Amino acid sequence: MPVNLPPLDLAQLQPIAGVRIGIAEAGVRKANRKDLTVFLLDEGTSVAGVFTRNRFCAAPVQVCREHLDTGSAVRALVINTGNANAGTGTPGLAHARQTCEALASLLHCTPAQVLPFSTGVIMEPLPVGRIVAGLPAALADAQAAHWAQAAEGIMTTDTVPKAASVQVTVGGQTVSITGISKGAGMIRPNMATMLGFVATDACIDPALLPTLAKQLADGSFNRITIDGDTSTNDSFMLIATHKAGNAQITSLDSDDGQALMHGLMQVARQLAHAIVRDGEGATKFITVQIEGGRTAEECRQVAYAIAHSPLVKTAFFASDPNLGRILAAVGYAGIDDLDQGLIELHLDDVHVVSQGGRRAEYREEDGQRVMKGSEITVRVGLGRGTASDTVWTCDLSHDYVTINADYRS
C-alpha cells in the first residue's frame, strides 16, 4: 500500500496539445500486459533529457544519448517494460537501434528522431522481435488523452500508476503541464529517475530546455532515494510542444519563466514523491532536511547517509524512536571536521538533541508520537554554516525484502 498516495484522478490529467500516446501488449516478459508505450510528438516539439550516471547504463540510455547528440528533432519515444536491456553488451545496443529503426520506418522519420527506453530485469536479452511486432498496435492506439494509460503502461514493481498535472498562467495564457513516472525499487537517481516523462504545451526557447530539465531533475528526482541503488536505466525527459500560444519564454529568470518553472517543479516533485510513497514495502514517507552546513553538497551527503541507513530505516518501520541511529549516520556521513558538540536534531516539532547530546527535556513518548505517523520530517542542524538541502525517502520493511527476494520468480 503506497503511503498517502490517493488513486489517480484521471479527469485531472490535462492532455498536452501536440502529444499523443499509444499503448499495446507486446508480450515482452509476460502475456496480457500493456508493456509497450509510444509517445508521438508533433513537428516543432522540443525534447531534453537527463540520464543515469550509472556507468553500467543500459543500451537504450546509450542510444538516447547518441540520438539527442545528433540534434535531430525528436518525433517519438518508445518505452518497454519487462526487460531493462542492460548488461546485454553489443547485442543489446543492436536491439535498441532495431527498435528505433522499426518505429522510424512506420513514422517516415529517421531512427535518430526516435528515443528508446527500457525498464525491467537486467541482463536478459531484449525480445526485440516481439517489441517490433507490437509497434503497429501501439500506433493505432495513439490518443492525446492516454496519459493515465501510459502511467500504467510503464509500471514494473509499482503498485499504483504515477501521474501529475497542473495548469499555470504564462503571459496571460493557460499553459498545461502533465507528467508520468515509474519506479519503486533500485531508486537513488543520480541525474534522473527510473523513468519520468513531463510534457508541456508552453512555448519556450528550445535552447533553455536542457537547463530546465537538469534543474527539474535536481529539485525532484535527484533528491529521492528508496534503497540507494542507482538504476542502469534512469531517464527523465522534458517535452515542450510550444502550442499554448504564450509569447515564447526566452529566460528562466523572467516572471513567465519563473511561473513555468514553478508549475513544472510542482509536477516533477509530485511524481518524484509518488515514487517514494510507492517505494517497495514503504509504510512511511520521510523528509530528511539538513541545515547549517557549509555547502548544500555536504548537507546532501548527511541527508543520504541518514536516508540510506538500514538501521534508521528499520527503526522508522518499527515506529521506534531509536534516534541514536540517526546520530550515528550523521557521524559517518564523511564530514571529517564535523563537531558533534554542535549537532541539533528535531523530529517534526520535537527537539531531541541539543549540542550533540540528548536533551534533558526530551521525553521518549514525544518521539514515539512522531514516529507513529506516516509522514515524518527529520531535521538535523550541523552548526557549521547556512547551507541546507532536503532528501525524501521511505522506511525499510519486511515487504521490501519479500518483494526483492521474489521479483523474478
Nearer to its own copies, 242 or 308 (CB): 308
Minimum separation from the CB atom of position 233 to its own copies (A): 9
List the interface residues with its own copies, window 222-241 (CB under 8 A). Answer: 227-232
- Among positions 44, 207, 318, 361, the unique one binding its own copies when judged by CB under 8 A: 318
Q: Which of 186, 195, 259, 380 binds its own copies (CB under 8 A)?
A: 186
In the complex with its own copies, which residue's Cβ is closer, 55 or 108? 55
**Is residue 120 a contact partner of residue 28, using CB atoms and an 8 Å limit?**
yes
- All three cell numbers of 370: 512522531
Question: Rounded to whole angstroms, how far apart are CA atoms 5 and 178?
Answer: 17
Binding its own copies by CB under 8 A: which of 1, 311, 361, 363? 311
| 132, 264, 327, 370: which one binds its own copies (CB under 8 A) | 327
Interaction of residue 54 with its own copies, rule CB under 8 A: yes
Which of the residues 195 through 214 are near its own copies (CB under 8 A)? none
For residue 177, CA distances in Å to 108, 204, 239, 320 come to 28, 13, 10, 40
Give the binding-site size for its own copies (rule: CB under 8 A): 72
**Pick 42 or 320: Cβ nearer its own copies:** 320
**Measuring CA to CA, which residue among 193, 215, 386 is closest to residue 279?**
193
Q: Which residues pair with 82 in a beta bridge?
A: 120
C-alpha cell at 20: 499523443
Give 175-214 as a DSSP string: EEEEEEEE-SSS---SSS-SEEEEEE---B-GGGHHHHHH
**C-beta of 44 vs 89, nearer to its own copies:** 89
Rounded CA gap, 81 and 78, in Å?
A: 10
Residue 145, H or E segment:
none
Residues 117-176 that bind its own copies (CB under 8 A): 121-125
Q: Annotated active-site positions, please?
A: 193
Give whichever of 229 and 366 is closer to its own copies, judged by the CB atom: 229
Only one residue has cell 490535462, namely 14
Q: Tell me how far, at minimum, the Cβ of 192 lies from its own copies, in Å.
A: 13
Q: Which of 330, 347, 350, 391 binds its own copies (CB under 8 A)?
A: 330
The reply on whether position 343 binds its own copies by CB under 8 A is: yes
Q: Which stretch binds its own copies (CB under 8 A): 174-182, 202-210, 264-272, 323-331?
A: 323-331
283 is a contact residue toward its own copies (CB under 8 A): no
Query: Is residue 84 within the footprint of its own copies (CB under 8 A)?
Result: yes
Single out the segment in contact with its own copies by CB under 8 A; choices: 73-81, 126-134, 304-312, 372-380: 304-312
Nearer to its own copies, 201 or 280 (CB): 280
Pairwise CA distance, residues 60 & 67, whole Å: 10
376 contributes a contact to its own copies by CB under 8 A = no
Cα three-residue angle 28-31-36, rounded to 5 degrees: 45
Does 247 interact with its own copies (rule: CB under 8 A)? no
Q: Closest Cα partner for 270 from 392, 372, 158?
A: 392
Cα separation, 206 vs 46, in Å, equals: 6
